[in-house]
Amino acid sequence: GGTAMAAVRDVEIDPEGTFKYILVRLQRPGGGEQRDIVRGTKAAEFHNHIFEKVNPEMEKLGYECKCLGGGKIDHNSKDKKIRVFGLSTGYGKADHSVTVEILKKVYTDYEITWSDDKK
């Protein structure tokens, strides 16, 4: 059941700074259960570097991954603010409003906003 999917964290992003992120849809092969997760890190020079790390991890757990798009996250932990913006050249723009809803589950006491600005 739902245990393996529950073990996958909704959000894994760097604690501070501005970095690329992707929105990833996890799905059981053949449909059924699915959910979207957010992954972002300064270590990734390109959006596909993030996907190339997430994909094998999720395949091990029995999920198919699809990148729904990307953008950037500006994480200010001191002021408890997160801004979601920009896009991925390779994957296109993620639906930042969806990303914000997922971030809010984890960063409950943050002010989280998004825009279509490039920077």
- Catalytic residue set: 47
Q: Is 35 exposed, middle or buried (CB count within 10 Å of its CB: 0-12, 13-18, 19+)?
A: middle
Residue 104 annotated as binding site = no
Strands 111-114 and 34-41, by their bridges, are: unpaired
Q: What residue type is assigned to position 10 of the chain? A: D
CA distance 76 to 99: 16
CA distance 105 to 32: 23
CA distance 82 to 27: 27
The binding site for substrate consists of 20
